[in-house]
Structure 1
Amino acid sequence: MRFSVISSCILPWGGSEELWTEAALHLQQAGHQVAVLKTAFDAQHPRIRQLRATGCTVTGLAQQPTLAKRLLNRALPAHRQWTPSSSQLAQVRRHLQQQQPDLAVVAQGSNFDGLAFADICRCLKQPFVVIAQKAAEVLFPPVHQREMARLAYRAARHCYFVSRHNLTVTQHQLGQVLDHASVVPNPFNVPYAGELPWPPATAIMRLACVARLEVFDKGQDILLQVLALPKWRQRPLHVSFFGHGGDEPALRDMAALLGLHDRVTWAGQVPDITTVWASHHALVLPSRYEGLPLALTEAMLCGRPAIATAAGGTAELLVDNETGFLAGAATVAALDEALERAWGSYADWPVVGRRAAAHARAQLPPAPGEQLGRHLLQLLHN
């Protein structure tokens, strides 16, 4: 079988790329042919090199946005920052006409940013599926693209979402039921079986915030405001921020303004996430919008509790006061309340972490990417 993956992620790589990548590797290794068309292409990225080494064809979509468009993008929410250029749309059209894959996979960073590619598939009568990695309640499809979005989702052979929340939100925004949709969680980069040993005893509670440094989605500004409250200034608590992103300078300035220089660390990107959980006691995730956070899945599998907002599919995996501590909303008051409950039961965190690992293994398949690959094959066999 021949598959074409069309990725609309606006970054050289992001967590939204992992699901289709694992599916592509599984399909290629099983003897099928996979071609990838990637936006924001970086030929030296380790995952691109891995795909090529396995036999996948990976091509960059041409013509990055102009300087004026990049400047405009910085002022827009992430979900609306990028739309394909005419040359990229033409390149996708040529590829589909020439290669005529058995199935095209339109992999989106959110739930609408790749639908121009899906619409090309629809117009060419090319069988396709869509993957949506995130859905924000406040970001409906633009008015001028609404009908295209409805038609594209309706024409897809199947629609994949990483959480039930994202599926529900997308149905509400489209005003139509997607009865040809299912939920497939993202893969993870930690061992599936066996959580990590608990970190060595320390006088300081060490929390890790593992997320792209972009406040519109990830809400690190909320966490900084909580840490600035008088009671948290007096407690032995330290937060390490892992990740990079466009809002890092603003967050650093905000932390300095609030006098948190000795309470937070900017730890950057790490190649092995297990090193984070070898030295940190819990995850703190103040997100405003999510799919199903990869950071949450990995922390739980490593045996660490999470203090997280009920964004996206978080509440579908995190059981409040059993496997972690859930904040009812992405607000300072709600996150402070959840962190207070967590602080009060700090002695029980190792037990909570073990429950979190067992619950995650009970809820998540061991290889979600392979599961997606098998489902794509089943679609074609049907």
Structure 2
Amino acid sequence: MRIAFISLMANAPWGGSEVLWSNTAAYALEQGHEVFFSAFEWPSPHANINKLIQKGAVSYFRPHPTLKTRLINKLYKAAKVSSPEVAAIKKFNPDVILFNQGGAYTLRYWPELLAFAKENAIPYHLICHSYNEVVTFAEKQQKFIVSIFEGAVKVFTVSLQQKAIIERQLAHSITNNIQVSNLLNLPAEYPIPFPATTIDVPQLACIGSLTILAKGQDILFEALSSKKWKDRPWQLNLFGTGPDLDYLKRLASFYRIDDKVKFRGHVANMAAIWAECHLLIVPSRIDSGPMVVAEAMICGRPVVSTRVGIVPEWITSGDTGYIAEGITSHALDQILEVAWNDRYNWQKIGQQASIFGKNKMAASPVELFLDQLLTAENL
């Protein structure tokens, strides 16, 4: 089969939305399929992108929208000439296309790619990664998005909550939906033994891109800025990089918790993180996963999280972790207080979380996803 993977994530060279499609593309090449992919052009492509090219994938790198590129695209359209990306896909002549959306509705910004698939009767799938609960659409936009979803062979989503919110926003049932599992970053052996460092000074981890709009580290800092938290012994370790690093450093100083907050940068080794940290905190505003919840639980750590994405499917408050009933500093403060008072049970809760997580995680998400893309009854 000839499979085209079209990645539409534009705000960063790499992210959680890119893991499943890129690993599935690599696996497809190993199984003898032909693969094309397109993605936004960045000065330094991610290692997974370079590996796909080395394995023999056909590639196209899309320039970022600028005044110049918009003008050129208008000229292509006026002259009824295919854009370079459409021409590259047409030359590859795929049997099936996967549109990988960083959000839930990204394809609506690329009507020429959608039109190519429809006009050439090429079956296409959508995968929706992130979502935003407060998005609204005019009726014309809703109808266009619904037509995109209805035209897809399958619409893949990451969580049940994500699917429910998309259906509410569109006032439309997604009957062609399949829930997928993202590939997890796990150590060779798990669970990880509970840290030897004393729980009297809990080591708290917050893992993710330093992008406050999605990941919400700012409301976590606000929650921890009250006198009661300043008077308690704890350390918050932020693992990750991102555009809001300098702001978050200033915010920690503003709230006078900079002595308790450490910015650790990107650390890919989950075993190293959980060898020293007792608890994961996920203050996300927007997140369809987050994969770090599943990874922490499987590694044997309890999680405090806002109610986003897969969280309600993975965490039972007081049993395998703690869920905040709101995405505010007040709600985080309340659930962190519950967790703090329960801290001498974290090791036991982490053990329960690991048992639950190992039973729940998908055995071979990449193999399953490729099969779902290529199953004859779907095409």
1:186 Cα deviation from its structure 2 partner: 1.0
In the aligned structure 1, how far is the partner of 2:376 from the partner of 2:204? 43
Partner of 2:336: 339
Partner of 1:276: 273
Equivalent of residue 90 in structure 1, options 83, 91, 115: 83
SS at match of 2:375: helix
Partner of 1:109: 102
SS at match of 1:114: helix
Partner of 2:165: 169
Equivalent of residue 358 in structure 2, options 338, 361, 364: 361
Contact 1:3 1:102 in 2 (8 A): yes
1:138-287 equivalence runs, <5 A: 138-141=134-137, 145-191=141-187, 194-202=190-198, 203-287=200-284
SS at match of 1:178: coil
- 204-213 vs 239-248, greater mean Cα deviation: 239-248
* Residue ranges of structure 1 left out of the alignment (5+ in a row): 70-81
Contact 1:286 1:309 in 2 (8 A): yes
1:349 Cα deviation from its structure 2 partner: 0.9
Partner of 2:26: 25
- 321-330 vs 269-278, greater mean Cα deviation: 269-278
Which amino acid letter does the alignment assign opposite residue 178 of structure 1? I
Alignment CA distance shift 1:175-1:120 (3 Å): farther
Partner of 1:8: 8
Question: Which deviations, in whole Å up to 9, do the C-alpha atoms of 1:27-59 show, x marking residues without a partner?
Answer: 111111111101144554211122223332232
Question: Which deviations, in whole Å up to 9, do the C-alpha atoms of 1:287-331 show, x marking residues without a partner?
Answer: 111101011111111111101011122111111111101111111
Alignment CA distance shift 1:58-1:42 (3 Å): farther
Alignment CA distance shift 1:95-1:126 (3 Å): farther
In the aligned structure 2, how far is the partner of 1:138 from the partner of 1:236? 36
Contact 2:60 2:85 in 1 (8 A): no
Partner of 1:48: 49
Contact 2:129 2:158 in 1 (8 A): yes
Contact 2:187 2:269 in 1 (8 A): no
Normalised by the length of structure 1, the TM-score is 0.90
Question: Which deviations, in whole Å up to 9, do the C-alpha atoms of 1:171-202 show, x marking residues without a partner?
Answer: 22222111111100211110486311111122
In the aligned structure 2, how far is the partner of 1:52 from the partner of 1:162? 27
Normalised by the length of structure 2, the TM-score is 0.90
In the aligned structure 2, how far is the partner of 1:67 from the partner of 1:201? 55
1:55-74 equivalence runs, <5 A: 55-61=56-62, 63-66=63-66
Q: How much identity, in percent, do the aligned residues show?
A: 29
RMSD in angstroms over aligned alpha carbons?
2.4
1:145 Cα deviation from its structure 2 partner: 3.9
